[in-house]
Amino acid sequence: MAATAKVPAPSASAAQPSPELPAATTHELTQLLDARVLFLARGEKGRLAVLTDEGGVVVPQRYEHGAWERLPIPEEHRATTEAARLGMYFGRDDRPRLMGYRLVGGEPRMVYLRYRDGRWHDQRREVGSLAGDDAALFGELGEADPEIVCRAENSCILKSRRGWQVHRSALPLESVTRAFSGRGYAALATGLFRGENLGFERLGGETPWKAVPSGFWIGPDGDAAVVDRGSERLFTRGPGATAWLTQPSPIHGPRDVAGGRAERFVVGDGGVAVLGQDGARRLGAPSLALSRVIVIDDHVVTAGPSGVFRIRRR
C-alpha cells in the first residue's frame, strides 16, 4: 500500500464468500494486535510500525521487544482517518518516523515527525528540499535501501547509504511505492516503474492492469507479482520475462501480495491465501479483512481492518 492512513472499508464483494479453498495445513496464523489497522511497516529485529483507527483518529503504535506501545500524535498534528494520508516507519536509527500529510480546510499540511525522548518532533530537514508546510509527501522509509520520499506535483528523492538521488519527474500521488533489494519501485495504472539515475523508468512490456494496482512485490531475482482489487486479478512475471501472466485472485478483493513462486501470499477483503506447488490454500477465516502483507525473514506479517497477524510454518 502507498503511504496512507486511510483504508477503505471492505467492498460489497467482501460480503460474498471468497472462492472455496482448502485450509492450509503447512502454516499457522496468530493474531498480534486486535485493532483496526490502517498502515503496516517493518523495522529491524522484529519491530513493527502500525497506524490504528481509534474512533476516527489516527494513532501510531510500535511493536518492539514483544510488546505494543501507543505513540499518540500531538494535538497540533492530530489527524482523522478521513483527512489524512500517513505512513509510519522505523528509520535506520530504529526510531519511528511519521510521514505524509493531513487536510486542513481541504488543503494539505505536511507531516514529517520523528519520535524520541517520549514524544514526536518535527524533523523536516530529513527530506531536504521536498519539505514545505503545504507539501503532500508520500513514499517508503525504513531500514530498506533506498528510502523513497516524494512530494506530489514536484519530485522524488531516493535516499540510499551511498547518497541521495533527486528525480525531477514526479510520481503522481496515487502511486504505490515500495523498496526491494536496494531499488525503489512504483506501481501505476500505466505500469511498474523502477528508480534509475535519471528518474523512474517503466519496466517490461504491455501492462495488463487498467487501474493503479492495490499492491505489488518484487523478488531479488526480478520475480514480480501485482494484485488489482478492482478486477480481482493476480499478475505475475518470472525473472527475465517481459510478458505478464494473468489469473483470478484466490480471494475476493485482493489488496496486497508478497513472496515468490514457491510460496506466495495474497491478502485482501476475503482473508489470506497462500499459493504454492499444491495450488491455493486458505489461512484463517474468509471474514478477515487485510490490506498489507510483508515477508520478514522466517515469517510473514499481515495487517488491516481485522488487526495484525503473524504467519509461520508449522
Q: Return the closest-CA partner of residue 287 out of 252, 263, 247.
A: 252
- Residue 102, Cβ density class (10 Å: 0-12 exposed, 13-18 middle, ≥19 buried): buried
Q: How many domains does the chain have?
A: 1
176's grid cell? 504505490
Domain that holds residue 17: 12-313
Residue 124 lies in a domain: yes
Residue 23 lies in a domain: yes
What single-letter amino acid sits at 85? R
Q: Return the closest-CA partner of residue 136 out of 104, 165, 110.
A: 110
Q: What is the DSSP string of 277-298?
A: TTEEEEES-TT----EEEEETT
Residue 7 lies in a domain: no
11: helix, coil or strand? coil
Residue 277 lies in a domain: yes
14: helix, coil or strand? helix
pLDDT given for residue 167 in this prediction: 77
Residue 53 lies in a domain: yes
Residue 3 lies in a domain: no
Kindly report, residue by residue over 76-103, the tens digit of the pLDDT. 898 899 999 999 999 888 999 999 999 9
Q: Pick 16 or 47 by higher pLDDT.
A: 47
Residue 1 lies in a domain: no
8's grid cell? 477503505
Q: Cα dist. 16→10, 24, 194, 274 in Å? A: 11, 21, 36, 20
Q: What is the pTM of this model?
A: 0.91
Residue 212 lies in a domain: yes
Query: Is the per-residue pLDDT at 16 higher than 80?
Result: no
Kindly report, residue by residue over 196-242, the tens digit of the pLDDT. 877 788 887 789 999 999 999 999 999 999 999 999 999 999 998 88
101's grid cell? 500529510
Indicate which CATH number applies to the domain containing 63. 2.130.10.10
Query: Is the per-residue pLDDT at 191 higher than 70?
Result: yes
